[in-house]
Structure 1
């Protein structure tokens, strides 16, 4: 079971970039916009089975601010 830790405060439809925590609190799942720009993907050199997503800074900032 995932638990929502932080979301995009500008979200209006409920399906926006979000930071999730796993039930054992050992991992995070990041929901964001898939990187499709070939130049950016080439820089990342992702292995099979991995993808990259863009997450607004506000999502992570909100999470870390809440942890203080």
Structure 2
């Protein structure tokens, strides 16, 4: 899967900052902070094989502003 940077902290030096990526299929990959709080995870009721991450609103807002 080829990824292209769409939005995030462009000055991030180590690549470990929340980021929105696009794929060649037109899908999105979100890189963010893993949710580890048991109560939040229970609310999500995730099936096996799925995970959840937190991505700052500014990352998505920056992407949508650039699209507008």
> Please, what TM-score do these two structures have when normalized by structure 1?
0.89
Matches within 5 A, 1:1-68: 1-8=2-9, 11=12, 13-25=14-26, 27-68=27-68
- Between the two proteins, the alignment pairs up a number of residues equal to 67
Question: C-alpha separation between the residues in 2 aligned to 1:58 and 1:52?
Answer: 18
Gapped regions of structure 2 (runs ≥ 5): none
Task: Please give the TM-score of this superposition, normalised by the length of structure 2.
Answer: 0.89
Change (3 A) 1:19 1:49: same
- Which runs of 4 or more aligned residues in structure 1 lie more than 6 Å from their structure 2 counterparts after TM superposition? none
Consecutive unaligned residues in structure 1, runs of 5 or more: none
RMSD: 1.5
